[in-house]
Amino acid sequence: MNKFYVRLLLLLLAMGFCIFFGVDLATRGVERIQGPIDKAGGAPAEAGLWPQPYRPSADNEAGFFQTGGKAGAEAEAKAKRQEETKAEPRGEVTETTGVAHIGNKTGELLQIVAHHGIQLFVSLFEAITS
């Protein structure tokens, strides 16, 4: 086999591994947040995990949810508590706080590392294909 085709095969295998590894990582992350995924339909295994769209009924002409009984009373009490405990709006921060400074510097460091990582990947790709 020609040297070029061996390199091309290795490159394609590496790209395939990266793609499948990325899909696996994404699936694991979604499962950790949303719960296990049903393999047949791609829907969460537990019913009611995804929010359902609102469909107003004919007896509810106003288009609002009307809950009765204990659930309705709890919802009303919760709404009252939220109205009572509304916090005053905070003023604008004019000076940089210590945490914001650390966050900005961390972001700059990650940008530099990503930039050099991309350059390293490109140089490796060029070395393999040349």
Q: What is the pLDDT of residue 71?
A: 59
SS3 content of the chain, % helix, strand, coil (to 5): 60, 0, 35
Residue 94 has a pLDDT of 62
Q: With a cut of 50, which residues of the chain have pLDDT below it?
A: 61, 63
Integer Cα distance of 130 and 123 in angstroms: 10
Q: What does the mean pLDDT of the chain come to?
A: 76
Question: Other C-beta atoms within 10 Å of 16: how many?
Answer: 10
pLDDT of the residue at 81: 75
DSSP string over 70-104: HHHHHHHHHHHHHHHTPPPPPPPP-S--HHHHHHH
Q: Residue 17: its pLDDT value, please?
A: 94
Percentage of the chain beyond pLDDT 90 is 22
* Per-residue model confidence as pLDDT tens digits over 30-53: 888 888 877 665 555 555 555 655
The pair phi, psi for residue 29, each rounded to 5°, is: -65, -40
Instruction: Kindly report whether the global pTM for this prediction surpasses the value 0.75.
Output: no
